[in-house]
Amino acid sequence: MLQTPHWNFDVVAYAGAARVWLGQAPEQAHAEVYRELALAAPPEAEEAIRSLSEYREGVAGSVDQFRVQIPMYTNKPLYVGLTAALVGLGADSILAPFWVSAASYGGFALLLLLCLRRVTSRWSSWMIGLPLLLSPAFRHVGQEPTPDALSACILLGGLYALAFGGRVLIGAMLLLLSIAARPDNVILCVAIAGWWWWKAPTQRPLAAIGAFASVVAYMVVNRVTGARSRRFTGRTVEVLVDGTSRKNAGELSGRTRCNRVVNFDGQGRVAVGDLAWVRVTEALPHSLRGTLVERPEEAACLSK
């Protein structure tokens, strides 16, 4: 069911993040990742990952541009950590993300069938579950080198423990763990805590603790994984302005040559389509903030 991986650029980034996690220098990680890509991927897939766009060509050809990818992917520490564990045991770093996703999808499939069995007959659970699990949309999740299958498996395990197993503590711990797989799962965790508050009035203190713990877990993950991004504070980057900031209409937004989002105050000074120099003043987990400068004292691709 999961024999054909769905190759995309993420596999290079997660493989690199895993190797750096294990202590390899970015130069060595870059060389090893692209060497393994050439050996593991079909020729068409390798060519697309290496050169489908100017951006991908830059990452394949430059250690500096490869290095900047790492902070964008280490904010899913559980997925990167499991991938790194396989690499540490001798696995190919390009194939390791696929193995994590495939194993996670297998766990998700089992949990889905168990959940269906709880609400319907054995025959009906198979008749409903198998077509879903074999459908392209579901299979795609298990074939991707991304944390989606891992996140879905942990979330469903937590929900099963809460709803059917009567294991409140285990369920809550699994839901919190899912935030380490995908930090945006905090929204779902808080929503589940709200449902728990409404459904079980006698356990409202536990529901409140669960919601609070979800937010704390999210903050911890972002704090830890954002440490790499904070190294870029104070550097000057060239930014292609592509519009206004999604969160602040008074700011402009653009991307560096390494595809990193930068928000800055430059209304009236530069326009969409312009190249601007921005000094980074704050590094967030998913973007950077900065101020427009006339002439850079130094230029960087967020790489050193």
Same domain as 108, residue 61: yes
Same domain as 173, residue 56: no
The full 3-state SS of 229-271, as one line of letters, equals HHCCCCCEEEEEEEEECCCCCCCEEEEECCCCEEEEECCCCCC
pLDDT for 263 beyond 60: yes
Share above pLDDT 90 across residues of the chain, in percent, rounded to a whole number:
33
CA 38-39-41 angle, 5° bins:
70
Same domain as 134, residue 36: yes
Residue 67 lies in a domain: yes
Same domain as 129, residue 171: no
**Cα–Cα distance, 152 to 141 (Å, whole number):** 9
Range of the domain at 219: 164-230
Same domain as 279, residue 225: no
Which band of pLDDT confidence, cut at 50, 70 and 90, is reported for residue 221? low
**Cα–Cα distance, 204 to 19 (Å, whole number):** 43
**CATH code at position 242:** 2.40.50.140
Residue 179 lies in a domain: yes
Question: Are 252 and 267 contacting, i.e. CB atoms less than 8 angstroms apart?
Answer: yes
Residue 300 lies in a domain: no
- The mean pLDDT of 137-164, rounded to a whole number, is 90
pLDDT for 33 beyond 90: yes
Chain centroid to CA 97: how far? 12
pLDDT for 18 beyond 90: yes
pLDDT for 27 beyond 70: yes
Q: What is the pLDDT of residue 257?
A: 67
Same domain as 131, residue 22: yes
Chain centroid to CA 215: how far? 18
Residue 158 lies in a domain: no
Query: 18-22, 27-31, 124-128, 180-184 — which is least confidently predicted?
Result: 180-184
Q: Of 146, 175, 196, which residue is a domain's last?
A: 146
Same domain as 287, residue 172: no
Same domain as 269, residue 218: no
pLDDT for 265 beyond 70: yes
Which band of pLDDT confidence, cut at 50, 70 and 90, is reported for residue 79? very high
Q: What is the pLDDT of residue 295?
A: 60
Same domain as 254, residue 200: no
Q: Of 204, 230, 256, which residue is a domain's last?
A: 230
- The mean pLDDT of 121-129, rounded to a whole number, is 91
Same domain as 261, residue 169: no
Total of domains in the chain: 3
Residue 154 lies in a domain: no
Which band of pLDDT confidence, cut at 50, 70 and 90, is reported for residue 148? very high
Q: What is the pLDDT of residue 187?
A: 85
pLDDT for 2 beyond 50: no
Torsions phi, psi of 57, nearest 5? Answer: -60, -40
**Cα–Cα distance, 181 to 169 (Å, whole number):** 19
Q: What is the pLDDT of residue 304?
A: 38
Q: Of 210, 230, 250, which residue is a domain's last?
A: 230
What pTM, to 2 d.p., does this model score? Answer: 0.73
Residue 91 lies in a domain: yes
